[in-house]
Structure 1
């Protein structure tokens, strides 16, 4: 299992899924029905067993699966679960629906890998008996996708959301704007997408999400207990905005659309009121579309913005986010400004910035580039990716602990972990997957599993077993030579 559960007690028997098995849910809860149906929809295509979801007020007859909410197990919190498997019944309980959803992923992982296929496979469908108690170490376990350098469509995002959910991750951060493209429709500033969304790195046609598409992505993620956090990067990384509305440009010139990969050359006009009208409109529209707590305002690599302009700009923008009912997330440079209450500092580059954030009372989201950037190459022979921060082989991506990386940043200062994929070198789903997998599994485990239960020698064996599973899920993963992959050869 990945992430490794907190506690596993095996009892040596087995439970058989058969054509008599159904999924029973406690009472008539619509949310439990949806979770039960999610499990049925994942198991039925491969097993052909025709599992149905049925409400009940009592524990069901032997041979079935039972999902229930107890609400009274404080150790499990909002996302934990207890899974009890006997030869007669699979019983999954949790305090909250999120816990049941995470427990369902464990049930899937306990079944043979071919259960993840979309066509009917040969059984038997057996699950080992025992009891698993499980809950996460960190409340924020996320990944970021840069859809600005290269645009990824709605189906690509939904595919990644399902893959993240399988490994109990709960946040997807979307980098929606940069020098190369503006990817979210803003109705009050339509040229952002009409002009600023029509290209990408290398000169491709780009693209953008309508507000309806964005809302669909948000709902799809919510149904899988994943929160979408949108990012509008500023005051740098803003060429696409400036090219769409020249009055926003810091140097007063009309910017051309940009398809390269350099950073740090663009800035908004931080002293013009039109800039703040623009930002307020963007935040207002995004906040209305985004049910999650956070909006990400970027703040990184603003080399073309003088520090005396950067500080008041970031302070004012934080206030705008709060005024629209959201909390601020920003890259670690924001700690150079005044970090407002409830702002989270995302540590990516400079530990001293993150430490400044902690000194101002901020929580830190751990995304150190040299450990957690998914766009870093595995080694010098990697097909895709960059290596300006490091080469990150699968073991290096796994072998670090957020709470011990920077002495001044303690566990109580950390909200969680996020693994970003910047897309300068990847424009297709399969290319992105090659960089994301299998490293994402390790980041999921860092976020979920207590540090004392994690070690590489144990993890690489479990990871090897997920080779066949990722193959069944049609994931284009990098077959690291450090892992003895358990992947059956095609006949």
Structure 2
């Protein structure tokens, strides 16, 4: 049997560990390591809850280091395996992954169970000593987020795919960290322009570093229907055939979608599917004439902004049979708790009819075991105790309806367009990169960072806010590099608002920490915008 390179590395590394434990191999005397910089959040985004530096203490990852994990913690092995795989190419070290041995301290990085109730299910405790690194958590998600912090603390060259010279050091100290909000989302619009499975996976890779835990896929709109639905083949054959400007048509098969759900899950990220209605439905209406009140399918819509007559026929029972079938299939494909039903910009629907539609749709969503998520317009038209509303345009929101809904159990996600919409341009005079919209204004990095979720809508119950979201709609995004330059460096700003305590919010600190992300992005192929607000270091070459 031929043994793969990775197998040889693991088995050889494990033999070395066992030999060390047995006292058969003694590593050569270690060279003295200069006292490292005290542990600081100066390179970490989102900012941790608390940091306790250990002055003069430095940990160095070495050829005999191992990654150990507590087998009592489900998925701990997965986190350890993935982390080792990320570290091996640049370090050249075997980094075997082994179960922890009770009472035996193995040299290297250990992933452990038991961080205490304070950190909850996503938090972690990180302790960096001269001879070991310990990440403790109550759930594997906490281990994963602790690993993201360690990756940022390591030299940026750890992102390279070929062996690099060391040393591979971490500053000593302790970090206690957990999220402010349990909902930290990025919206990716695949409806206006279609993005392939590999393109979406790369986005998942990049945003997971900043502890984003929900990927909201905008699957349907006027310009495209992007998920195959059994029994309704024209949705993708016709509705998925094009996009804005007639470009980037396409769709996900159900197997494609399952692959994305699985890939996101491996990054401790939950997919939220959005199926638009009653408006923004021209792709569906173009596919099936029976979804129109006059029984005539309108032409495909490829303009930038929404179709002026894009509403499903709400007086026909076939509309609700259609929605029931779609929601049933999408819910079965999606293990997460939420299903987004849109609900926005249905300006041509009478209020009573709109309310009746949403109540029927909410019942369908509940029938298939999901929680209804919708844009801000759904507040006041659904059962608040079973509703999550995403605030996107605070200037036009019905403040009283949202405040009342929040006080009767509705949950709120904040993504104010003037701060959080990543599809807006950075500034008015940016000839180097003209892609993006500006109908909501220009959003530089500081604009994306300087806002407070619980004051976006006056009069709400602050406890109803469960998190934040960073939407990226793609009407004017035609190439995959456009996504990178619009999302980075602004997405980390939204991520920090969602994760870090309000007390840590500080533009000067964030600006410096953001600059430290640049070399990591250079080496992982993230084509970010070098905002003049940030003192970026020189570019790294891949």
Q: Same fold (TM over 0.5)?
A: yes
Residue deviations 1:179-236 (CA, integer Å, cap 9, x gap): 1110001012111011111100010250000101101110111111100000001000
Alignment CA distance shift 1:44-1:60 (3 Å) = farther
CA distance in 2, matches of 1:427, 1:488: 25
Q: Which residue of 1 aligns with 2:243?
A: 200
Contact 2:304 2:476 in 1 (8 A): no
1:207-286 equivalence runs, <5 A: 207-263=250-306, 264-286=308-330
Does 2:365 match 1:315? Answer: no
Q: Which residue of 1 aligns with 2:153?
A: 110
CA distance in 1, matches of 2:518, 2:230: 44
CA distance in 2, matches of 1:234, 1:157: 24
Please report the RMSD computed on the Cα atoms of aligned residues, expressed in angstroms: 1.6
Does 2:83 match 1:39? Answer: yes
Displacement after TM superposition at 1:490 (Å): 5.6
CA distance in 1, matches of 2:203, 2:494: 15
Displacement after TM superposition at 1:246 (Å): 0.9
CA distance in 2, matches of 1:406, 1:448: 20
More displaced 10-residue stretch of structure 1: 247-256 or 262-271: 247-256
1:392-403 equivalence runs, <5 A: 392-403=443-454
CA distance in 1, matches of 2:256, 2:482: 23
Q: Which residue of 2 aligns with 1:373?
A: 421
Q: Which residue of 1 aligns with 2:23?
A: none
Displacement after TM superposition at 1:354 (Å): 3.0
Displacement after TM superposition at 1:357 (Å): 2.9
Displacement after TM superposition at 1:51 (Å): 1.1
Contact 2:403 2:458 in 1 (8 A): no
Contact 2:522 2:540 in 1 (8 A): no
Of residues 419, 429, 434, the one that matches 2:480 is 429
Q: What are structure 2's unaligned runs of at least 5 residues?
A: 1-43
SS at match of 2:276: strand
Displacement after TM superposition at 1:488 (Å): 3.8
Displacement after TM superposition at 1:156 (Å): 1.1
Residue deviations 1:132-169 (CA, integer Å, cap 9, x gap): 00000000011000000000000111111111111111
Contact 2:277 2:343 in 1 (8 A): yes
CA distance in 1, matches of 2:378, 2:386: 13
Say how many residue pairs are matched.
490
TM value normalised by structure 2: 0.88
Alignment CA distance shift 1:392-1:116 (3 Å) = same
Alignment CA distance shift 1:123-1:86 (3 Å) = same
Displacement after TM superposition at 1:123 (Å): 1.6
Contact 1:345 1:357 in 2 (8 A): no
Alignment CA distance shift 1:61-1:335 (3 Å) = closer
Of residues 363, 368, 371, the one that matches 2:411 is 363
Does 2:505 match 1:444? Answer: no
Contact 2:73 2:140 in 1 (8 A): no
Q: Which residue of 2 aligns with 1:129?
A: 172
CA distance in 1, matches of 2:104, 2:347: 63
Contact 2:384 2:406 in 1 (8 A): no
Displacement after TM superposition at 1:356 (Å): 4.3
Displacement after TM superposition at 1:15 (Å): 0.6
CA distance in 1, matches of 2:489, 2:453: 19
More displaced 10-residue stretch of structure 1: 465-474 or 414-423: 465-474
Alignment CA distance shift 1:267-1:244 (3 Å) = same
Residue deviations 1:386-428 (CA, integer Å, cap 9, x gap): 1111211000100111023333234311010001000011122
Q: Which residue of 1 aligns with 2:456?
A: 405
Displacement after TM superposition at 1:339 (Å): 3.1
SS at match of 1:341: helix
Does 2:104 match 1:53? Answer: no
SS at match of 1:233: coil
Of residues 197, 203, 210, the one that matches 1:160 is 203
Contact 1:164 1:170 in 2 (8 A): no
CA distance in 1, matches of 2:171, 2:464: 38
Displacement after TM superposition at 1:469 (Å): 1.4
SS at match of 1:257: coil
Contact 1:243 1:255 in 2 (8 A): yes
Displacement after TM superposition at 1:304 (Å): 3.0
1:78-93 equivalence runs, <5 A: 78-93=121-136
Does 2:519 match 1:475? Answer: no
CA distance in 2, matches of 1:90, 1:84: 6
Q: Which residue of 1 aligns with 2:331?
A: 287
Contact 1:331 1:345 in 2 (8 A): yes
Contact 2:403 2:459 in 1 (8 A): yes
CA distance in 1, matches of 2:130, 2:277: 57
More displaced 10-residue stretch of structure 1: 127-136 or 329-338: 329-338
